[in-house]
Every structure is written in C-alpha cells, then in structure tokens.
Structure 1
C-alpha cells in the first residue's frame, strides 16, 4: 500500500518536446524582410504615382484618338453631388468614399486612391517617385544577390525547383490545402514551390523589367524592351497589375 501511495504521490516529469523547428538562414530572412519592406513602400508610393494619371491603357500610346483604356478611376459631378467611380473595361462602378472621391467628411477631394493608401498622403509626385525608385533599387539589388547566392549554394536547385515526384503530389496538395490540412516538414511542398517560384522568378522580375521599360532614359539603352512588352502603356499596365 505504501508503495502504491508513493507512486501516486510522485509527480510526473514533463516530457521534453524534441520537435525540430527548421528555420531559414539569417541571410535568407534578412533579404526576405528587405523585400517585404521595399514592396510596402513601393506599393504605396506607386499608388501616389498612379494618382497623377489614374488611367491604364494597352498599346504604345494613351487613348487620345482611340479608346484603349482598360482601367480608369475618377470623379464626376452628378445630381447628388460629386461621386467617385471606377471603370474597368467600360463597366463603371460607384466607388465614392474609397476610389475617385474620398477624404474626411466635408473635405473630400477628387483623387484615385485615398490619402491613407499613398506615400506621401498628400499629393506630391516628386517625393513619391524618389521613394519608389529608392526602394526599387534595394529590391533589385538584394534579389540579384539572393539569386546568385541561391545558384551557387544549390538552394534553388535543391529546395525550390519542382521535381517530377512533386508534380505527382500536386493533386493531393491541392486537396489538403482546400481542407486546411497543412503538413509542416523540412521540404517545401509542391504548391509552396510553385508559389515561391512564381513570385521570385516571374512576378518580381516582370515588375522590374516593366518598371525599366517605363523609364525614358532606358529607351536609348534598351530600345527593344518596349517593343517586346507591347508599348510603354502596356508595360505600365502590367507593372501596375503585378505590383497590386
């Protein structure tokens, strides 16, 4: 009886959790945070730049003699007073208070994106361009360094490049994610590799290339770039779509 009592009174020792948590290297974490920081400022300053010309076109020219506008954000006077609107491929939507016409009650002004969504909050195209280009160079430089390092140390080939076995697992990964069943392992699953690769090797390079295509100074260096992208206005539209 005493032995049983002693066993019952003996506190259980908590089991030590030996689960390994795999973390990215410090360099990878640093570059990724720099990208996130840069993209934040580029997005908000880019919206300020967009406010200077709140239309997007397809082609080499703006729609003066013909209508090639695919997106327009603006304001118009109506019987009920000024109203904001957003037009997408000719379909107009009332977006008063958010897009086209926004501001504190009684102090609304016509502007594509509201003050809280732009850097700076007041209209200043020059400052917005300085901020945008500054962080664009940070993004481009760190991305280039990361790509070179990833090729040299084998990170891209070993961890990011999808293999044939990954593609066989793709249907199951899609079903698991739809059911919110996430498997945390050392390796990226197929969807993670595709998402990672889509951002790093498609979206970010396309954003950088279209940004260069809009620069008049680049026309003398890379005159063929605009032709490949379908014109400066098309490059601007692609740049905006990828950024947003």
Structure 2
C-alpha cells in the first residue's frame, strides 16, 4: 500500500517566495487602491465612452441620488440603493449624498486631493510590483510550470470535470498544481485585467498623454479609459471576493499557511479529491 492509499501526508513546495511576497504586497496595495479609487469616483460618479463626458444623460453608469433616495443606473436600467450607494448614513446617522459611503473609501471623509495622493503613490508601487513579478516568474519558471495550459487540459471533458468539482466544492490539490479553471483565471488576471488597469490609469494622466498620446487612441479617449479602468477594478474586486470564498471553503488555515511558508501538506484518501484554494 503506497502513501496515497494509506492517507499519508504529502508535503511539497507550493508557492515560490517571489509569489508569496507579491501576493501579500498586492493584498495591501489593491485594498488601498480600491478604497482611494472609490473616493476619486465620488467626485464625479458617472462613466462615459469616448473623449468627453459632461451630463448624466450621456453616462452609461451613474451612481447618484434624488435627495431622498440613492440609485444606480446602468444604461436604461435603474435600481434604488438607498443606504448603500448614492445616499447613506454615516456613524452619526447623518445623511451622506455620495456614491460610495465613507467606510469604503480612503480617506473616510470627502477629499479628492487626499484620495489622489494615496491612489497615485500606491499605483506606482502596484505597477512596479506586477512588472517585477512577471519578470521574476519568467526567470524562475513559475509561469511555465504553474500557468502553462497543456494540450490535454483543453478537452471538454477535463473542463467540465473541473466545473463540476468546483460546484461540488471539491478542489484537486494532489500535486500542488492549478486546474484549468484556475490557470485561465490567473492568466486573465495577470496578463489582461491588471495591465489594463495600469495602462488605463496612465491614460487618464494629462502628463502621460503628452508623452504617450497613442494611449488615448488605444483606449478610445480619456472617458473610455476611465470606464475601462472602473470595469477592470470591478473585475479585480470580484476576483478577490471569489478567491477569499474559495480559501474559506477549502480550508483557510492550510491556504494561508502555504502562502506564508511556501509549503503545502495534503492528505489524499482513496477515491477522494483533495482540497485546495
């Protein structure tokens, strides 16, 4: 009877130190960027397409209030969000007419100047961290070993199997590798969502427009870049929510420990699929 059949623990290397450092720094940077970004959005809680934006009539997304109720409008669809978005109460039960409430923003009180300072400072740290991680991952083989999608993984049967495992909260961790759904998610996040956030953020800077005017053409104007920046940030926030949910469902202690120590201990039982965030 081998170790797997007997239910013995299989301890192996899980995360490279570069990945672990980038993960925890990103947790800090992304939180500050999101909260300061929401305060910046509060200054003009409407999004447009194209080069210019002015009135709410032309906005594809609007978070506002009618003095008595808060609402979110996307296109022609409108939902009342009083108490959450558009109009809410602060800690002293005072009505606040802002898109996002103070507990979700940095700073908690309205200050566009302070929010911009927080956002710009950590945006550069975030961008430099992503660049260092991508270059380091090419050198240490993390991308090739961890995120490379093999030809056999593209089969419909394999993808459907992973979908069923996730819906049944069964996460394969036998060999410390990512499954096809996780690989596609991380590839999309690292190589599409995060670069889009960085480039659209740069596009909204007048100084960078002067240096790299082609960015405005690439994204279809400053307002389009702002919309894409907001959409990419929303996708990142949704990823974080799902990621934390998966960690909780698959064993938070083991998940956090492996991201701190870089080692992973899994117990495999006959006929069972192991847990892994």
Q: TM-score, normalised by structure 2?
A: 0.77
**Contact 1:75/1:101 (<8 A) preserved:** yes
Match 2:199 to one of 204, 209, 215: 209
Match for residue 89 of structure 1? 75
> SS of the counterpart of 1:58?
coil
**Structure ranking higher in helix proportion:** 2
User: For residues 117-169 of structure 1, what are the alpha-carbon distances to aligned partners after superposition, in whole Å with 9 as ceiling and x for unaligned?
Assistant: 10000001111011111111111111101111111222212221212112122
> SS of the counterpart of 1:220?
helix
Aligned length: 225
- Inter-partner Cα distance in structure 2 for 1:150 and 1:21: 19
Q: Which runs of 5+ in 2 are unaligned?
A: 1-5, 235-277
Matched, 1:115 2:124: no
- Inter-partner Cα distance in structure 2 for 1:48 and 1:189: 37
Superposition deviation, residue 54 in structure 1:
0.6
Match 1:174 to one of 163, 178, 183: 163
Match for residue 275 of structure 2? none
Structure having greater relative contact order (Cα 8 Å, sep ≥ 6): 2
Alignment of 1:155-194 (within 5 A): 155-168=142-155, 169-184=158-173, 185-194=175-184
- Inter-partner Cα distance in structure 2 for 1:18 and 1:73: 51
Match 1:138 to one of 101, 122, 125: 125
Match for residue 43 of structure 1? 34
Match for residue 243 of structure 2? none
Match for residue 57 of structure 1? 48
Superposition deviation, residue 106 in structure 1:
4.6
- Inter-partner Cα distance in structure 2 for 1:159 and 1:23: 10
Q: Which runs of 5+ in 1 are unaligned?
A: 1-14
Q: TM-score, normalised by structure 1?
A: 0.87
Superposition deviation, residue 33 in structure 1:
0.8
Q: Which runs of 4+ in 1 moved over 3 A?
A: 15-18
Gap change, CA 1:150 and 1:17, over 3 Å in 2: same
> SS of the counterpart of 1:86?
strand
Structure whose alpha-carbon radius of gyration is higher: 1
Match for residue 10 of structure 1? none
- CA RMSD after TM alignment: 1.8
> SS of the counterpart of 2:62?
strand
**Contact 1:59/1:68 (<8 A) preserved:** no
